[in-house]
């Protein structure tokens, strides 16, 4: 059997005993209904190979992995002007923290915490006639799956419990760093978070980040080489919120997580990997997902450091 496939199967079997050690996100009630006993892994390399293990074809709520999509769209549309409204510094705080937003006069610390992603969505809303449509189309195009859909039950559930996100948006508005109607932008943000994709879709979708910004067939340049470096750097420093240091230490790759339990990680010029298991650790990142990635980079002997 292929070496990579054998390795994924091995790691999958090793992490199964950890099921039950984390907790499924329940602050969005619809997410709490997910079966916790699921583990998926998908790897896509630059030769066009895809390897999978476990529940790699089961769709899940991408949640904050969508912040990678909104950032890429924001960089495509605004270029460097994006950074006038959002900073690029790690926050060291929880993904939904408001503390620094007030201290830093309504400029979110980075595009991967909730405040930063909301600001990016606000900017997308200013320039796109149909932002939700564009986000979905981009995910379909990048993943090659024409059937990526939004789970409206999850989006509605988040809206009903979205006081914190609304508070962030209004705080930014008070600092004149939010241009559009708050409810309209929240609607687009919840839509993006509630898109459902599986590990294979997500590993395929973000393979361009391992390929200097180009799709594998080289037909599309999604980002320039420099922008690709920038996105990977932001993932490495900010993608895992207040676990960014631990993730760098243990895994050593740029990664972006979501409270649905997914994590996308990149080995530049080599491969993309998406892992998924719904139970989270205290920082809102997939407990088993990180364990898989740690074992993966240790075994293939590659990291960005």
**Among 251, 276, 245, 231, CA closest to 120:** 231
As measured in angstroms, the least distance from the Cβ of 283 to ligand GLN is: 9
Could you give the string, one character per residue 142-181, with x where binding to ligand GLN holds by CB under 6 A and - elsewhere? ----------------x------x----------------
Return the residue nearest ligand GLN (CB atom): 64
Helix axes 114-127, 182-193, angle to 10 degrees: 110
38 binds ligand GLN (CB under 6 A): no
Which bin fits 38, alpha (ψ -120 to 50), beta or left (φ > 0)? beta
Q: What whole-number distance in Å separates Cα of residue 192 and Cα of residue 71?
A: 12
100 belongs to the binding site for ligand GLN (CB under 6 A): no
Q: Which is nearer to ligand GLN, 38 or 224 (CB)?
A: 38
Is 10 annotated in some ligand binding site? Answer: no
Q: Which residues of 214-235 are buried (b: 16+ CB within 10 A; e: fewer)?
A: bbbeeeeebbeeebbbbbbebb
Go through 59-76 and write b for each residue having 16 or more CB atoms within 10 A of its CB, e for each that does not: bbbbbbbbbbbbbbbbbe
Enter the DSSP assignment of 136. H
Give the single-character DSSP code of 212.
Answer: T
Q: Figure out which of the listed residues 11, 12, 54, 64 binds ligand GLN, where binding follows CB under 6 A.
A: 64
Residue closer to ligand GLN, measured from CB, 123 or 271: 123
For residues 186 and 48, what is the distance between their CA atoms, to the nearest angstrom? 37
Q: Give the C-alpha separation, 136 to 146, whole Å.
A: 9
Q: Give the angle 63-64-69 at the CA atoms, nearest 5°.
A: 105
89 assigned to a ligand binding site: no
CB of 167 to ligand GLN, least distance (A): 12
Number of other residues whose CB lies within 10 A of the CB of residue 292: 28
Token representation of residue 70: 């909104």
277 annotated among ligand-binding-site residues: no
Considering only 52, 63, 157, 228, the residue that binds ligand GLN (CB under 6 A) is 63
193 counts as binding ligand GLN under rule CB under 6 A: yes
Q: Are 275 and 286 in contact (CB under 8 A)?
A: yes
Q: How many CB atoms lie within 10 A of CB 95?
A: 25
Between 73 and 115, name the residue whose CB sits nearer to ligand GLN.
115
Binders in 239-258 for ligand GLN, by CB under 6 A: 258
Site for ligand GLN in 103-122 (CB under 6 A): 114
Among 12, 78, 95, 125, binds ligand GLN (CB under 6 A): 95
| Nearer to ligand GLN (CB atom), residue 114 or residue 227 | 114
Q: Which is nearer to ligand GLN, 186 or 267 (CB)?
A: 186
Q: Nearest distance from residue 93's CB to ligand GLN, in Å?
A: 12
- The single residue among 284, 294, 295, 297 that binds ligand GLN, judged by CB under 6 A, is 284
Residues within the annotated binding site? 64, 114, 158, 189, 241, 259
Residues within the annotated binding site for substrate? 64, 114, 158, 189, 241, 259
- Binding stretches for ligand GLN (CB under 6 A): 63-64, 95-96, 114, 158, 165, 193, 258-259, 284
């Amino acid at each position: 059997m292929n070496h990579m496939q054998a390795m994924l199967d091995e790691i999958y079997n090793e992490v199964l005993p950890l099921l039950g050690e984390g907790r499924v996100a329940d602050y969005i009630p619809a997410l709490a209904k997910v079966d916790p006993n699921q583990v998926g892994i998908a790897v896509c390399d630059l030769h066009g190979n895809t390897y999978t293990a476990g529940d790699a074809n089961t769709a899940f709520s991408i949640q904050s992995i969508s912040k990678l999509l909104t950032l890429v769209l924001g960089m495509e549309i605004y270029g460097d002007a994006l950074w006038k409204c959002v900073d690029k510094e790690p926050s060291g705080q929880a993904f939904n923290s408001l503390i620094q937003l007030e201290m830093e006069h309504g400029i979110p610390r980075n595009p991967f915490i909730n405040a930063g992603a909301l600001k990016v969505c606000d900017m997308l809303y200013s320039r796109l006639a149909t932002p939700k449509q564009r986000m979905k189309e981009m995910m379909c195009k990048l993943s090659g799956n024409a059937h990526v859909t939004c789970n409206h039950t999850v989006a509605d559930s988040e809206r009903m419990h979205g006081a914190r996100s609304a508070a962030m948006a209004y705080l930014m508005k008070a600092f004149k760093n939010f241009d559009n109607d708050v409810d309209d932008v929240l609607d687009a943000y919840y839509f993006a978070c509630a898109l459902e994709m599986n590990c294979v879709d997500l590993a395929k979708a973000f393979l361009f980040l391992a390929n200097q910004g180009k799709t594998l067939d080289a037909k599309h340049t999604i980002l320039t080489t420099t922008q690709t470096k920038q996105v990977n750097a932001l993932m490495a420093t900010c993608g895992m919120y207040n676990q960014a240091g631990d993730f760098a230490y243990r895994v050593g790759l740029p990664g972006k997580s979501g409270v649905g339990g997914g994590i996308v990680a990149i080995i530049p010029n080599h491969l993309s990997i998406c892992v998924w298991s719904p139970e989270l650790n205290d920082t809102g990142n997939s407990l088993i997902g990180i364990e898989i990635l740690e074992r993966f980079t240790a075994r293939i002997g590659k990291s960005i450091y």
